[in-house]
Structure 1
Amino acid sequence: MPQQPPVRSTPTRPSRPDASMSLLTNVMDHSLDDGYAEAAARKKAEGAGGMPNTLRAKLGLAAGLVLAALVVTVGAAQARVAAPVVAKERQELIDRIDRETAAADKLEGSVDKLRDDVSASQREALKKSGSGDQSELVGVLSGAVEVHGPGVKLVVNDAKEATSGGNGNPRETSDFSDTGRVRDRDMQRVVNGLWESGAEAISINGQRLTALSAIRAAGDAILVDNKPLVPPYTVLAVGNGKQLSTRFQDSADGLYLHALQENYGIRTGISVEDDLRLPAAPSVIVRTAQPSTEKTEKGTS
């Protein structure tokens, strides 16, 4: 019985690990598009690609490279040369600012000293203008001298809602009605009411008031003699404490302040004090009246 030839099997080649990523493999193996490759081959065959062939073109290319290198070199050299000059000018400017700042500080100190000298001379002139109790009274009423004695302490503050925003700063609050803030006209009425009730000297937040003092507004801030104040406003008034407190609270201005508290939430507090100390006014202008020498011709023939 004839034997059958053995069956030979064709060995299978192992598949590539990246067979499932044929698209990525093709991109990696053919990074240059076929169209670009064909165009490059055509230019090379025509002699249009690569380095220039003629001597003139080669000289032009060399001149361009030399010019580019020259521009870069000159720019770097100029920057290197100008750097110390710029640094020197900057330092000179800083030194000038420091000198001018020191000079301004020195002048400001001189102004403060002269202001103190003028105030002292004015107070001395007031003392010499009268004798004994009269000159003392003139100094107290004019605000030229420091005073102390019994009186009342009146604290006026914005409404609580006005200080709830802006980190507690009422000047940074924009969502509250203006009626909740103390205004310059309110402080004017308070001060006038205290004067009318018998106060002999008054200060607001340490700022001594005189007959020439002005209480004004600049935006939301209250100014006393052009100096801004910050709430709460502490008003000190020297006088007969109990009598001054009673008269003020019963006066029209005291009732006005009470209405602000009831209707708009303005916070107030008044107390009688045994001893209050009020500073002298920072600057008092001495004025003297002179009798008129002119004769009127009214009623004369």
Structure 2
Amino acid sequence: MCGMPQQPPVRSTSTRPSRPDASMSLLTNVMDHSLDDGYAEAAARKKADGTGALPKTLRAKLGLAAGLVLAALVVTVGAAQARIAAPVVAKEREELIDRIDRETSAADKLEDSIDKLRDDVSARQREALKKHGGEQGELVGILAGAVEVHGPGVKLVVNDAKEAEQGGDGDARETSGFSDTGRVRDRDMQRVVNGLWESGAEAISINGQRLTALSAIRAAGDAILVDNKPLVPPYTVLAVGDGERLRTEFQNSGDGQYLDALRKNFHIRTGISVEDDVRLPAAPSVIVRTAQPSTEKGTS
């Protein structure tokens, strides 16, 4: 039987209806995806890559500029405060200088007054010696250091080592558990004076300071004090006595040999010479507070 030719079955496909604006795809994309989304995507990508911030060089320049501005501000504020405080500081400085000048002037007046009182006391002592001591009064005054004396004797100069003058350490010597460094010490001058007394000196002075039975040679730091008055090197010792005999006996004594050892080993500079006439001033004052003359007569 003749049939009609078979047609392949036709499958129905469901197709999405096309958009009316399909032909305007570019405009549609622009409308559907605004520029804000693009900017947001670019910012997110830069942030993920670590490039979203300012360049490092730019950040460094901005930081430096900010630091300079801050430093300039601090300097400006400090300068302003200094200008404000300057008059006050200057006024306080002037007041302090004026006070120092006043106190110095007052101290000088007191020192002058002390010197005058000492001279007056010494004069009264000499008068008392002459009045009550008779012929022995002058001798007592000489031995006590209350009157000026002169006569033949020796001149002994003792000075620090040159290294000590130049600020060097010098050669150290150990004495009584502590070191010395090329400088003349109070104990050195004590031995010099004691050696001269033992060698026959009748009167002694150091740098114009008359020594008495009450005199003390001490130290205050590096300074040597005689009766609490500071002396500076070189130390010139004048001694009244038989010049040749005094020099020989002192040099041969233990104290003279001690001084010579200081010269040889530690470069202390010394020199002794015989003098035809040396003059020693009177002591500033000789005050005896306890001792009194005895009025009792011995029995035979």
Normalising by structure 1, report the TM-score.
0.59
**Does structure 1 conserve the Cα–Cα contact (< 8 Å) formed by 2:129 and 2:140?**
yes
- Select the residue among 129, 136, 161 that pairs with 2:138: 136
- Matched residues in 1 for 2:197 and 2:264: separation? 24
SS at match of 1:280: coil
Answer whether contact 2:163 2:170 (CA < 8 A) is retained.
no
1:233 corresponds to: 235
Q: 1:127 to 1:261 in 2, by over 3 A?
A: same
Moved more, 88-97 or 121-130: 88-97
Q: CA deviation at 1:266?
A: 1.1
CA distance in 1: counterparts of 2:252 and 2:105, whole angstroms? 54
Within a 5 Å distance, the mapping from 1:201-220 to structure 2 comes to: 201-220=203-222
Aligned to 2:159: 157
- Cα distance in structure 1, aligned partners of 2:95 and 2:111: 24
| Higher-Rg member (1/2) | 2
Cα separation, 2, equivalents of 1:101 and 1:219: 24
**Which of 263, 266, 279 pairs up with 1:261?**
263
Question: Structure 2 vs 1, CA of residues 131 and 220 (structure 1 numbering), >3 Å: closer, same or farther?
Answer: same
For structure 1, which runs of at least 5 residues remain unmatched after alignment? 1-78, 166-172, 294-301
* Match among 107, 112, 117 for residue 109 of structure 1: 112
SS in 2 for 1:255: helix
Per the alignment, do residues 140 and 174 of structure 1 end up closer, same or farther by CA in structure 2, a change over 3 Å counting? Answer: same
* Deviation for aligned residue 1:157: 0.9
Alpha-carbon deviations, 1:228-278, whole Å to 9, x = none? Answer: 111111100000000111111111111111111111111110100000000
What letter is aligned with 2:126? R
Task: Return closer, same or farther for 1:181/1:127 CA change in 2, 3 Å cut-off.
Answer: same
1:119, 1:284 within 8 Å by CA — same for their partners in 2? Answer: yes
Q: Using a 3 Å threshold, how does the CA distance of structure 1 residues 175 and 110 change in structure 2: closer, same or farther? A: same
Q: Give the match's secondary structure for 1:113.
A: helix
Question: Shift of residue 109 of structure 1?
Answer: 3.1
Q: What residue ranges of structure 2 are gaps of 5+ in the alignment?
A: 1-83, 173-179
Q: Report the RMSD for the aligned CA atoms in angstroms.
A: 3.1
Q: Which amino acid aligns with 1:204?
A: I
Residue 247 in structure 1 maps to residue 249 in structure 2: yes
1:38-53 matches, cutoff 5 A: none
Deviation, structure 1 residue 101:
5.9
Q: Is the 8 A contact 2:169 2:182 kept in 1?
A: no
Q: Offset at 1:161?
A: 1.5
- Distance in 1 (CA, whole Å) between partners of 2:189 and 2:272 is 14
How many angstroms does 1:119 deviate by?
1.6
Structure 1 distance, partners of 2:246, 2:92, is: 66
Residue correspondence of structure 1 range 1-301 to structure 2 within 5 A:
104-132=107-135, 134-165=136-167, 177=172, 178-286=180-288, 288-291=291-294
Q: Say if 1:217 and 1:88 are closer, same or farther in 2 by CA, change over 3 A.
A: closer
Q: Secondary structure at the match of 1:235?
A: strand
Contact 2:170 2:182 in 1 (8 A): no
SS at match of 2:279: strand
Distance in 2 (CA, whole Å) between partners of 1:157 and 1:89 is 44
Structure 1, 107-116 or 180-189: larger mean CA deviation? 107-116
Count of residue correspondences: 204
Q: TM-score, normalised by structure 2?
A: 0.59
> Structure 1 residues 197 and 113 mapped into 2: Cα distance closer, same or farther (>3 Å)?
same
How far apart, in 2, do the equivalents of 1:292 and 1:128 lie? 17
Task: Give the counterpart letter for 2:230 in structure 1.
Answer: P
Q: 1:268 to 1:182 in 2, by over 3 A?
A: same
- Structure 1 position 176, deviation (Å): 6.1
Deviation, 1:99, is: 6.5
**In 2: Cα distance, 1:266 partner to 1:89 partner:** 48
Does the CA contact (< 8 Å) of 2:171 and 2:266 recur in 1?
no
The CA deviation at 1:289 is 2.3
